[in-house]
């Protein structure tokens, strides 16, 4: 900035000297009288003094402005918000200061965002480590038992089945954790297109039917074709499947799970209604948390990822979820997607 200002002053002085030289050349050309020469020289000297004073004042003014700007920037570096120029003045300097303060605010928010994301990643890694520890420990323990040559054949077969079940659980858990981490990091992109939502729902019901039949739980559907909206059929089906899986798990044999689809002006609503054990009211606000499992879910296999993933998938498409339940009387999970 100082170098630029010095060049401006030097250029201004050169132009002033050139103008004076041209003026004296003109006087010489017209053969001006001695009195005119004397008057002209005196005028040039006065103008030179005024010009020099103006340049000096301008230089001091610029130095003051630069000092204030430097103080403003230094205060931002020190984490303070110091305003050197009056906000009420609608001039270039106050606008420049305002934009600098806004930039500082944006950078501060970005810093906080990156810090929160870093903490979230640390928490995610900690949660994943905790969830993997149990099946890995079981596999290690039973594999060690299987190495015993004196192990009876019936016990060996029992331990082999346990190892198989733990391996399947570990595979399922890893798949779920990969989906969750990719959704959270934005690696997986929602690819939405206009399709009939009922087709997506019926596909999810078809995939859940074997588990419901094995447990003797009735699956029912309420709705009609023609509920078209822009959505990702694959991931939306995954979300509905997660809710259905939970509903079947927590519904006793002989119970019923109903999936209802209804279209409103702004949203399409998918309800998954079960006649299961229900959720106590204090836990309703926690069921969508990552790895959360209610007090009454101890005998049901799971790790608490399904509903968390479902809400994440729905939110990525501009929708939202809510749950209503009463202990011992079943639950209703509702997914809302924008039309």
Please write the tens of the pLDDT for every residue from 189-214: 778 899 999 999 999 999 899 889 98
According to DSSP, the residues that pair with 279 across neighbouring strands are none
* CA angle 26–32–36, rounded 5-degree value: 105
CA distance 144 to 280: 41
CA distance 38 to 44: 10
- CA–CA distances in Å: residue 151 to residues 147, 158, 166: 8, 11, 20
Highest mean pLDDT among 155-169, 179-193, 215-229, 259-273: 259-273
Percent of the chain with pLDDT over 90: 15
**DSSP string covering 43-84:** HHHHHHHHHHHHHHHHHHHHHHHHHHHHHHHHHHHTT-----
Contact in structure between 25 and 60 (CB atoms under 8 Å): no
Q: Is 60 exceeded by the pLDDT of residue 4?
A: no
Question: CB under 8 Å to 297, separation ≥6 — which residues?
Answer: 250
CA distance 83 to 98: 9
Task: Encode pLDDT of 50-101 as tens digits.
Answer: 777 777 777 777 767 667 667 766 666 666 656 555 555 555 566 666 777 7
Q: Kindly tell me the burial class for residue 216, based on how many C-beta atoms sit within 10 Å of its own C-beta (0-12, 13-18, 19 or more).
A: exposed
From the list 17, 38, 12, the residue with the least C-alpha distance to 27 is 38
Percent of the chain with pLDDT over 70: 70
Task: Encode pLDDT of 154-165 as tens digits.
Answer: 888 888 888 887
CA distance 320 to 94: 43
The more confidently predicted of residues 174 and 212 is 212
- Return the pLDDT at 1: 47
Question: CB under 8 Å to 283, separation ≥6 — which residues?
Answer: 294, 295
Contact in structure between 127 and 121 (CB atoms under 8 Å): no
- Return the pLDDT at 218: 92
306 phi and psi, to 5 degrees?
Answer: -55, -55
- Return the pLDDT at 269: 93
Residue 238: strand, helix, or coil: helix
- Return the pLDDT at 261: 93
* CA angle 95–96–98, rounded 5-degree value: 60
From the list 283, 287, 285, the residue with the least C-alpha distance to 327 is 283
């Amino acid at each position: 900035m100082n170098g630029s200002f010095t060049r401006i002053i030097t250029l201004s002085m050169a132009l002033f000297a050139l103008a004076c030289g041209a003026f004296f050349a003109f006087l010489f050309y017209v053969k001006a009288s001695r009195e005119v020469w004397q008057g002209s020289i005196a005028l040039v000297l006065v103008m030179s003094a005024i010009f020099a004073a103006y340049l000096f004042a301008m230089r001091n003014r610029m130095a003051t402005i630069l000092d204030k700007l430097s103080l403003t920037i230094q205060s931002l570096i020190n984490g303070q918000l110091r305003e050197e120029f009056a906000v009420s003045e609608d001039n270039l300097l106050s606008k420049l200061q305002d934009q600098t303060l806004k930039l500082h605010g944006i950078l501060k928010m970005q810093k906080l965002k990156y810090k929160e994301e870093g903490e979230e990643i640390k928490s995610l890694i900690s949660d994943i480590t905790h969830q993997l520890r149990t099946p890995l420990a079981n596999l290690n323990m039973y594999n060690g038992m299987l190495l015993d040559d004196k192990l009876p054949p019936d016990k060996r077969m029992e331990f082999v089945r346990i190892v198989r079940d733990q391996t399947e659980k570990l595979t399922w858990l890893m798949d779920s954790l990969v989906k969750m981490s990719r959704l959270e990091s934005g690696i997986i992109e929602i690819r939405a297109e206009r399709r009939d939502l009922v087709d997506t729902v019926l596909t999810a019901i078809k995939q859940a039917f074997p588990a419901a039949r094995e447990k003797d739980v009735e699956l029912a559907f309420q709705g009609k074709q023609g509920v078209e909206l822009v959505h990702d059929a694959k991931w939306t089906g995954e979300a509905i499947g997660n809710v259905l899986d939970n509903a079947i798990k927590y519904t006793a044999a002989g119970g019923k799970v109903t999936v209802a689809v209804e279209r409103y002006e702004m949203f399409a609503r998918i309800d998954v209604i079960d006649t299961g054990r229900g959720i106590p009211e204090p836990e309703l606000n926690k069921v969508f948390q990552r790895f959360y499992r209610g007090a009454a879910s101890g005998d049901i296999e799971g790790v608490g990822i399904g509903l968390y993933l479902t809400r994440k998938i729905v939110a990525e498409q501009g929708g939202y979820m809510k749950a209503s339940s009463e202990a011992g009387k079943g639950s209703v999970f509702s997914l809302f997607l924008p039309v």
